[in-house]
Amino acid sequence: MIRATNIVKYRGEARVLDGASIEVRKGQVAAMVGPSGGGKSTLLRCINGLEEFHEGEVAVGTLKLKGSEIPSRHTLLQLRHTVGMVFQQFNLFPHMTVLKNVMSGPVYALGKTTDEAETTAKKWLGRVGLAEKHDAKPGQLSGGQQQRVAIARALAVNPAAILFDEPTSALDPKMAAEVMRVIDDLADDEQLQVAMVIVSHDIAAVKRIADVVYLLEKGKVVYSGPAAEAFAPGGPASALE
């Protein structure tokens, strides 16, 4: 379970997160929506320790990050093993093949053997529909395919949660749909049981896959509740459609 409580973060004088809190349970899909600059991506990056925050607490299972404390190296690494992340710009490693990209987490982060990592990587590449692209370099793939590799890479470290930071924003509608289908598929997988947090402007997709919606404005969560209620006509997030 992911619980972020009263997260406050400053950038210079600006209070970019102003006491934001979210909670996502195992197997649940949460969507963060809201206008640009509302703090959605920042909150996501605070959750897996890519950005520091100044007040509040992030708890993932038994691991905790506190705004008032500098986290230990061990805590930070454990947290990142537990929480995978998929970026808007994919951030695949261009010097590695697709297979090596997916193997990189198990090998370099978890210390798995190459054989173990390869088995895991092939499994996840198959799951995202790219089994035949093992030996390709990222530069040879379409944007949608690259993002699917990035999803496989995030899943290969066997995380308890995955954070999606605007995973389809850099893609055209066809490729975006391709990626959302994969996310949809993962969300429906009852065996997988990962908590998923997705930041997206693709409201149609969010409505389809999200169990719970958080509406962020000016660094605050101004609404949290079921997607159906949030996007219902006259609902708090209906203006975003």
Closest distance to other proteins from the beta carbon of 105 (Å): 4
Closest distance to other proteins from the beta carbon of 53 (Å): 16
Comparing CB distances to other proteins, the nearer of 94 and 233 is 94
Closest distance to other proteins from the beta carbon of 146 (Å): 11
Closest distance to other proteins from the beta carbon of 99 (Å): 10
Comparing CB distances to other proteins, the nearer of 139 and 173 is 139
The dihedrals phi and psi of 123, each to the nearest 5 degrees, come to -60, -50
Residue by residue, DSSP assigns 143-204 as: HHHHHHHHHHHHHTT--SEEEEESTTTTS-HHHHHHHHHHHHHHHH-TTT--EEEEE-S-HH
Closest distance to other proteins from the beta carbon of 85 (Å): 4
Closest distance to other proteins from the beta carbon of 70 (Å): 13
CA distance 89 to 133: 19
Distance of CA 232 to the CA centre of its chain: 25
Comparing CB distances to other proteins, the nearer of 106 and 235 is 106
Comparing CB distances to other proteins, the nearer of 39 and 236 is 39
Which residues sit at the interface with other proteins, rule CB under 8 A? Answer: 48, 50, 73, 77-78, 80-81, 84-85, 87, 89, 91-95, 97, 104-105, 108-110, 135-140, 150, 153-154, 157
Comparing CB distances to other proteins, the nearer of 74 and 174 is 74
- Core vs surface per residue 205-226: b (16+ CB within 10 A) or e: bbbebbebbbbbbebbbebbee
CA distance 203 to 168: 12
Comparing CB distances to other proteins, the nearer of 171 and 237 is 171
* C-beta separation of 167 from 88 below 8 A: yes
Which residues, at least 6 apart from 68, have a Cβ–Cβ distance to it below 8 Å?
54, 55
Alpha helices in the chain (DSSP H): 40-47, 73-82, 98-104, 114-127, 143-155, 173-188, 203-209, 227-230
